[in-house]
Amino acid sequence: MRRICVATGDAGEHARNILNEPELMAHVFASPYLALQPDLCFVAELAGQPLGYVVAARDSVGFFRDWRRHWSPRFVHSHPAPTRRESLLRAGDADVQLRSLLHRPCSMLLPDTETYPSHLHVNVLAGARGRGVGAALLRVLFQALAEAGSPGVQLGVRATNASAHAFYRAMGMTRLSLDDGPAIRFARPLGR
């Protein structure tokens, strides 16, 4: 999962395009889910080869609280939170932004958590796309979230990632109207 996360972390391209330390992508978008919510991590594989994965949090508010308590402390020495000065001087630096997310995960919390308390991240390796892998992963996840009692799931995606938007629409998700900034949201009620 970590390898796929790094290989696809720049909107489907390798994270080395945007990060000096590509592993940071997995520290933020894959590993904390494996550590804190392993029951909602699913990998698609063919003949033992992983093709893609989906990770999710059932209760995003509680998940990010647990992250602060149990995940952030692991990085205090290796990847400390950026100082105010560093954040100002290196504002556009993706490594600095991810280090900040490691220690301030609540800044990733999306609105409308009562209606859509769950969130997800899905990534499929480039060579395996367009063959139903992502759809299979989301179907399994939606079922698992519904069984866990979640009323709805949402996610943030770059406004420029048009193929991901088409995918989420095909999966029955709706673009939410109250969007601003460089990311937009897709959401879907569950258990109906």
Ligand X SMILES: CC(C)(COP(=O)(O)OP(=O)(O)OC[C@H]1O[C@@H](n2cnc3c(N)ncnc32)[C@H](O)[C@@H]1OP(=O)(O)O)[C@@H](O)C(=O)NCCC(=O)NCCS
Which region among 30-38, 68-76, 95-103, 159-167 touches ligand X (by CB under 6 A)? 159-167
Q: Are strands 49-57 and 42-46 parallel, antiparallel or unpaired?
A: antiparallel
CA proximity to 7, closest of 123, 99, 165, 101 = 123
Q: Given the complex with ligand X, which of 72 and 161 has the nearer CB atom? A: 161
29 Cβ partners below 8 Å, 6+ apart? Answer: 5, 9, 55, 121
Rg (CA), the chain: 16
Does 131 contact ligand X by CB under 6 A? yes
DSSP 8-state symbol, 78: T
Site for ligand X in 17-56 (CB under 6 A): none
Does 62 contact ligand X by CB under 6 A? no
CA proximity to 168, closest of 156, 180, 181 = 156
Q: Given the complex with ligand X, which of 44 and 82 has the nearer CB atom? A: 44
Q: Extract the tokens encoding 141.
A: 């996840």
Which region among 7-15, 68-76, 92-100, 108-116 touches ligand X (by CB under 6 A)? 7-15
The only residue of 42, 53, 64, 167 in contact with ligand X, by rule CB under 6 A: 167
Shortest Å distance, C-beta 131 to ligand X: 5
Name the residues that contact ligand X, by CB under 6 A. Answer: 8, 11-12, 122-124, 129-135, 155, 157, 161, 163-164, 166-167, 170
